[in-house]
A and B are shown apart, each in its own frame.
Chain A
Amino acid sequence: MSNKLRALTESCLVLLALLALWWLASHSQWVSKVFLPTPEATAASLAEGLQQGDLWAYTGATLGRMLLGWGLACALGILLGALIGISPAARAWLEPTLEFVRPLPASAIMPLAISVFGLSGNMVLAVVAFGAMWPVLLATVHGFAHVHQRLKEVANALQMGRLAFVFKIGLPNALPDILSGMRLAMTVALIVSVVGEMIASQSGLGQAILLAARAFRASELFAGIVLLGVMGFASNAALALAERHFLKYQRS
């Protein structure tokens, strides 16, 4: 216990040391104040923005876009992934195409989406969902493709229907893959939401930090970056917890 406590104190001390370095670097002008605001100024901008409510609104908009896009991506990814993964024929015909599209940056779809849907919030949402869908889709296909032969024999012996096979064997078997795919998808969703807000001028943190940088308001820029970092941290931590909860049965 005392070991853990010491590790925690040291951890906090290192973080404080980094903050002190930031304080020193900004106050002694090692880095110009135009680029690097002082920690106090950042905190003041953060507090002011949150009190006036506009930072809350931006955060809410970005958070909503990210979560909705991620939810759509997960639903679509699992559905399509299960459809493709369960049929060896579909896998043989479609998997090469999926593997080809996988490394394509999600944001590269955005110009195409702009020309098809126009500059709207729904366009950004569609790109978020599309980009975040790939990790879930490929993970689901992988999970379904690697069902153990014995389990398939069991399903045959029990005369399970296709639907029963999906819900009783396929999905539980693919769950670890799907959950890690969903975690990756959340990261993608946050990134694409921010990029979409920057390009399509949709209200949110992405647009807010871009405007702050253009107006040389470094403390507001840093406040936005801090909030995005908090969002990334919180969403990742929540999904890591969910993963631990759902995969409990595996470790026992």
Chain B
Amino acid sequence: MDFWGTTDMPALLHLRPFAFPAVLLAALEWWARTAGANSDALAPPTLAAQAFARALRDGSLLSATAFTLGSAAIGLALASVLALGLGTMLGLSRRAASASFLSVEVLRPIPSVALIPLAMLVYGFGLRMEISVISFACFWPMLVLTQAAVQQVEPRLLEVSMALQLGSWARFVKLVLPAIVPRLFIALRLGVAIALVVAVTVEIAANPNGMGYALMIAQQSLDPALMLAWLFWIGLVGWCTNALALRLQSAVARRMGDLA
């Protein structure tokens, strides 16, 4: 595309990302109003938009979203604190890292959803069981990234801390933590993505709360319009949270210096 071609119709070009979804929606609308008019499985997008507006008005949309995002945030916070603590310990000592290697590799591949029945057994339904599964899922990747970040701290900095005879807490707060902040935010962004996916999955599979459950209930009560509305909303919330996390990560990277 030449210079003039790109500046001629910038407004139309901005619309280009929406062209494909628009075609899909129009096709679904047309199909659902003609051949699939009696379908229990799908509904026209216009009806889904109405169902969305109803859910927004009666408050169910906001309360379910708040539950899912809240439990994802608490689970992520818990996992971050644990991963930061253990990751720093394993990162600072080669010996601790190699000694724990086997245990980490044995526990890490357990699929988080396998713990849903266990969490259900221990906590019953509700906030705590969801948080526990989310924390487990976020903990391992964040641990691995934190450990790698600490291992990449300039060794001379640590020698300086020895020379200054800093205690381990002062060494952590004054040297290690500032050095790994940009990488920690990369781990956090990954954690945000995992936390949200796991939260919705737990709600779909077991926990009768939040957006995932609302989606499941809409399907079970044969309300395809409401189901599509929830599906779209879950996608939108996921996209926005991920975009925000990415923005936060690059803002931090800019302020704290880029990764070498």
Hey, which bits of chain A sit against chain B, CB under 8 A? 7, 10-15, 18, 34-35, 92-97, 99-101, 103-112, 114-116, 187, 190-191, 194-195, 198-199, 205-206, 209-210, 212-214, 216, 218, 221-222, 224-225, 228-229, 232-233, 236
Contact B103 A115 (CB under 8 A): no
Q: A97-B20, A108-B200, A221-B118 are in contact. Are A229 and B106 (CB under 8 A)?
A: yes
Interface residue count on the B side (C-beta < 8 Å): 57
Q: A93-B16, A94-B20, A195-B204 are in contact. Are A111 and B239 (CB under 8 A)?
A: no
**CB of B91 closer than 8 Å to a CB of A:** no
Contact B98 A35 (CB under 8 A): no
**CB of B105 closer than 8 Å to a CB of A:** yes
- Docked pose: A206 CA to B117 CA in angstroms: 9
Q: A14-B99, A199-B205 are in contact. Are A112 and B113 (CB under 8 A)?
A: no
Closest residue of A by beta carbon distance from B123: A35
Closest residue of A by beta carbon distance from B24: A97
Closest residue of B by beta carbon distance from A190: B111
Residues of A within 8 A of B121 (CB): 34-35, 213, 216, 218, 221
B18-46 interface bits toward A, Cβ cutoff 8 Å, 1 = contact, 0 = none: 11110000000000000000001110000
- Docked pose: A233 CA to B17 CA in angstroms: 39
Closest residue of A by beta carbon distance from B224: A115
Q: How many A-B residue pairs have CB under 8 A?
A: 162
Residues of A within 8 A of B100 (CB): 11, 14
**CB of B234 closer than 8 Å to a CB of A:** yes
Can you list 12 contacts pairing A with B, beta carbon distance less than 8 Å? A14-B103, A96-B18, A111-B219, A112-B219, A112-B228, A191-B113, A194-B113, A195-B204, A198-B206, A213-B120, A225-B118, A229-B107
Contact A111 B200 (CB under 8 A): no
Contact A206 B204 (CB under 8 A): no
Within 8 A of A (CB), among B104-124: 105-107, 109-118, 120-122
Top 9 nearest A-B pairs (CB, nearest first) are A96-B17, A232-B109, A213-B117, A111-B219, A103-B238, A11-B102, A10-B99, A229-B110, A115-B41
**Which of B40, B107, B201 is close to A191, meaning CB atoms less than 8 Å apart?**
B201
Contact B231 A108 (CB under 8 A): yes
Contact B234 A13 (CB under 8 A): no
Contact B103 A11 (CB under 8 A): yes
Closest residue of B by beta carbon distance from A99: B239
Contact B99 A97 (CB under 8 A): no
Contact B113 A206 (CB under 8 A): yes
Contact B204 A229 (CB under 8 A): no
B228-246 interface bits toward A, Cβ cutoff 8 Å, 1 = contact, 0 = none: 1001001100110110000
CB distance from B237 to the nearest CB of A (A): 9
Question: Which secondary structure dominates where chain A touches chain B?
Answer: helix
Contact B111 A191 (CB under 8 A): yes
Contact A111 B19 (CB under 8 A): no
CB distance from A46 to the nearest CB of B (A): 14
Q: A15-B102, A112-B227, A210-B117 are in contact. Are A107 and B200 (CB under 8 A)?
A: yes
- Docked pose: A87 CA to B113 CA in angstroms: 38
**CB of B95 closer than 8 Å to a CB of A:** yes
**CB of B148 closer than 8 Å to a CB of A:** no
CB distance from A242 to the nearest CB of B (A): 16
**Which of B21, B102, B110 is close to A228, meaning CB atoms less than 8 Å apart?**
B110
Q: A14-B103, A115-B42 are in contact. Are A107 and B201 (CB under 8 A)?
A: yes
**CB of B216 closer than 8 Å to a CB of A:** yes
Residues of A within 8 A of B21 (CB): 97, 100
Residues of A within 8 A of B234 (CB): 104-105, 108
Residues of B within 8 A of A92 (CB): 16
**CB of B212 closer than 8 Å to a CB of A:** yes
- Docked pose: A91 CA to B196 CA in angstroms: 27
Contact B98 A7 (CB under 8 A): yes
Residues of B within 8 A of A210 (CB): 116-117, 206
Contact B205 A107 (CB under 8 A): yes
Closest residue of B by beta carbon distance from A233: B109
Given contacts A111-B216, A213-B121, 6 further A-B contacts (CB under 8 A): A101-B235, A107-B197, A115-B224, A194-B113, A206-B113, A232-B111
